[in-house]
Amino acid sequence: LGQTIQERGVVVKSKKRMLLLALKWYECCLQYLRYHNDRKLNTFPRSGGIQFFPNVHLHQLQKVKLLSIVNSSLATQLSTTFHAEYLKVLNKRCVEGAVMTGLALNCTINKRSLFDRKHYFYADLPAGYQITQQRCPVAVNGMLTYNLCTGKNRNQTTLKSVRIKQIQLEQDSGKSLHDDARFQTLIDLNRAGVGLIEIVMEPDMTCGEEAAAAVRELQLILQQLGTCRGNMAEGQLRVDANISVHQPGEPYGVRAEVKNINSARFLARAIDYEIQRQIEVLENGEIILNETRAFDYKSGRTIPMRDKEGKQDYRFMPEPNLPPLIIYDNKTLPSNVNHQQVVNIDQIREQMPELPSVKRTRLVEKYNILTEHSITLMSEDGLMEFFETVAENTLANPRKVISWIINEFLGFLKQNNLTVRQSPFKPLALSELLDLLEKGVVSSSAAKQVFTEMCKKEGKSASQIVKEKELGLLQDQAKLEQICQSIIENHPKEVSEIHKGNWKVLNKLIGQVQKATHRRAAPNLVKAILEKKLS
Ligand SMILES: Nc1ncnc2c1ncn2[C@@H]1O[C@H](COP(=O)(O)OP(=O)(O)OP(=O)(O)O)[C@@H](O)[C@H]1O
């Protein structure tokens, strides 16, 4: 059986782990046999491209003698681990994480919640069942508020909200890795059995962009709380989107569910595609199936996975190894319990970090910046701290700092595919550069050249670069008079236009002076000299 597991591509880290997995698979097969015995099936099915033990028939599986592959001391170790794995013990950290998430999402925390077993057979679920909270979840009736950027340049923000129906604690399953080239599926069981929080929202959103904005906000909140690292590409945060369409004033239509979307951008695309698809189906006089679909990011389409019409029987039952979960607050905490072993809602509330929305309001008030800029600052890990360090250490106005961060710094990171934390460009270096600009030591275009030089990882300061590359502001009156004079002599057409009263052309001459001085000339001085000479 161990060999079968390896052949099936399960990721195995050690012999002991492999044997443990063998036990899990064995358990899983037995579950399957029990479940399908009455259906008189004698081979394992093919489903969704996954082959469950192809060519292995039931009678062969029943012959597997587990102990023959285990020596006696390993068998003892294994049975201990096996019991630890199978006799579930609730992880206090998971409960604290769920309560903290519930509080951050304005939920009511249920002081008593229950665990259930949900049974289904699938390759990434070795136990054959998942522990979840079907009947009475840990938190209910919350609200997530998020900003939706609208307008042509996405520079207007609208505050929106979506109701949270419930937050439940579950066990994660394994991860299926589909290898299309070899027509096989690999299963990584490393995360199977690990605690997971499922957040169920009410159907309050009307387009892909809203859902993406809500998920981005949720991601920030979870990261801030430390309840999830939130990396969607790595599957740490996954989204199932339920989509339906209906005529105004009519009840909601039949929903299709797009499973396991792993980026906010794909979420928006999947939902908008699905809305369009469902409208077309209905306009053609057909009906929407209650089905599970997958998003194919290459084609930008959703494709059917399986239909949910015949509602699957999950054979829910109360989880026998986990008694009801009792959570306390300061008022209900009995004096005779060990405080280390219980979860206290009030204690968790006190430990909550500043939430993203509070942080944004603080940024807007403290630095007098625009709301949409505060959203940008919070959208990248470490960017807000970067901004605050620059702003606290420069003479430049915070709005100018923001403009440099958005236009220059983020542009540099994007070009080099770097995150804020990986950036070789440190905040104090930008503060120094902005000071030089503020004090009039460099022009704004020269400052951009200095910035480009500083990004080349040479570790040189702004003033060193200004000195070495002679990028300082040219303020020498005599020298500038000379340059302006030669520009006037070389542009007779423009000069005659100005003499006719078209002073707009002056900008062209100013541009020529800047070109001749490699954009170092003090702009006010150049303008004054030219105006004097031409009037
Ligand atoms: N008519 C509808 N149109 C769009 N969304 C809907 C509609 N009805 C329910 N929903 C949404 O569908 C989701 C149902 O999620 P839930 O996990 O409770 O059920 P499920 O998808 O059947 O369960 P699972 O996929 O975990 O087996 C909720 O987010 C709810 O807001």
* Residue 312 CB less than 6 A away from ligand 1: no
Query: What DSSP designation does 197 have?
Result: E
* Residue 202 CB less than 6 A away from ligand 1: yes
Tell me if 107 sits within 8 A of 142, measured CB to CB: yes
Top-confidence residue, 381 or 383: 383
Cα–Cα distance for residue pair 394/400, rounded to 1 Å: 10
Question: Is residue 130 scored above 50 in pLDDT?
Answer: yes
For residue 203, the CA-to-ligand 1 centroid distance in Å is 8
* Atom 13 of ligand 1: nearest residue by CA position: 242
* Residue 244 CB less than 6 A away from ligand 1: yes
Q: Ligand 1: which atom is nearest the Cα of residue 314?
A: 27
To test the ligand 1 pocket, which listed residue (205, 218, 242) has its Cβ within 8 A of the most ligand atoms? 242
* Residue 280 CB less than 6 A away from ligand 1: no
Q: Ligand 1: which atom is nearest the Cα of residue 292?
A: 25
For residue 238, the CA-to-ligand 1 centroid distance in Å is 15
For residue 167, the CA-to-ligand 1 centroid distance in Å is 13
What count of other Cβ atoms lies within 10 Å of the Cβ of residue 183? 9
Q: Ligand 1: which atom is nearest the Cα of residue 308?
A: 22
Q: Which residues contact 46 (CB under 8 A, 6 or more apart)?
A: 52, 54
* Residue 534 CB less than 6 A away from ligand 1: no
Question: Is residue 47 scored above 60 in pLDDT?
Answer: no
Question: Is residue 353 scored above 90 in pLDDT?
Answer: yes
The tokens for 475 are 């303020």
Indicate the range of 176-185, 290-299, 342-351 predicted with least confidence: 176-185
* Residue 255 CB less than 6 A away from ligand 1: yes
Tell me if 404 sits within 8 A of 430, measured CB to CB: yes
Q: Can you tell me the mean pLDDT for 291-319?
A: 84
Residue 21 pLDDT class (50, 70, 90 cuts): low
For residue 241, the CA-to-ligand 1 centroid distance in Å is 8
Domain ranges in the chain?
Answer: 57-71+87-318, 356-469, 477-534
Quote the mean pLDDT of the chain.
82
Rounded percentage of the chain residues whose pLDDT exceeds 70: 82
Question: Is residue 252 scored above 70 in pLDDT?
Answer: yes
Q: Can you tell me the mean pLDDT for 19-35?
A: 59
The tokens for 165 are 């129906």
Cα of first residue to Cα of last residue in the chain, in angstroms, is 96
Residue 258 bridge partners (DSSP): 241, 293
* Residue 218 CB less than 6 A away from ligand 1: no
* Residue 203 CB less than 6 A away from ligand 1: yes
Question: Residue 176: what pLDDT?
Answer: 77
Q: What is the pTM of this model?
A: 0.74
Query: What DSSP designation does 196 have?
Result: E
Residue 56 pLDDT class (50, 70, 90 cuts): very low
Scan for tokens 């520009």, then name that residue: 487
Q: Can you tell me the mean pLDDT for 433-453?
A: 89
* Residue 301 CB less than 6 A away from ligand 1: no
Q: Which residues contact 480 (CB under 8 A, 6 or more apart)?
A: 474, 513, 521, 522, 525, 526, 529
Question: Residue 15: what pLDDT?
Answer: 61
The C-alpha angle with vertex 44 and arms to 38 and 182, in degrees rounded to 5, equals 165
Q: Can you tell me the mean pLDDT for 283-290?
A: 94
Question: Residue 83: what pLDDT?
Answer: 42
Q: Ligand 1: which atom is nearest the Cα of residue 259?
A: 25
What count of other Cβ atoms lies within 10 Å of the Cβ of residue 380? 14
For residue 165, the CA-to-ligand 1 centroid distance in Å is 10
For residue 285, the CA-to-ligand 1 centroid distance in Å is 24
Reported as half-sphere exposure (CB side, CA atoms, 13 A), residue 22 has a value of 23
Q: Ligand 1: which atom is nearest the Cα of residue 201?
A: 29
For residue 445, the CA-to-ligand 1 centroid distance in Å is 54
For residue 166, the CA-to-ligand 1 centroid distance in Å is 11
Q: Which residues contact 252 (CB under 8 A, 6 or more apart)?
A: 203, 244, 246
The bridge status of strand 317-318 relative to strand 116-119 is antiparallel
Q: Can you tell me the mean pLDDT for 262-284?
A: 96
* Residue 201 CB less than 6 A away from ligand 1: yes
Cα–Cα distance for residue pair 363/139, rounded to 1 Å: 30
* Residue 257 CB less than 6 A away from ligand 1: yes
Residue 386 pLDDT class (50, 70, 90 cuts): very high
For residue 242, the CA-to-ligand 1 centroid distance in Å is 6
* Residue 271 CB less than 6 A away from ligand 1: no
* Atom 16 of ligand 1: nearest residue by CA position: 200
Pick the CATH number of 477-534 from 1.10.10.410, 1.10.1740.10, 1.20.140.10, 3.90.180.10: 1.10.10.410
To test the ligand 1 pocket, which listed residue (119, 129, 132, 255) has its Cβ within 8 A of the most ligand atoms? 255
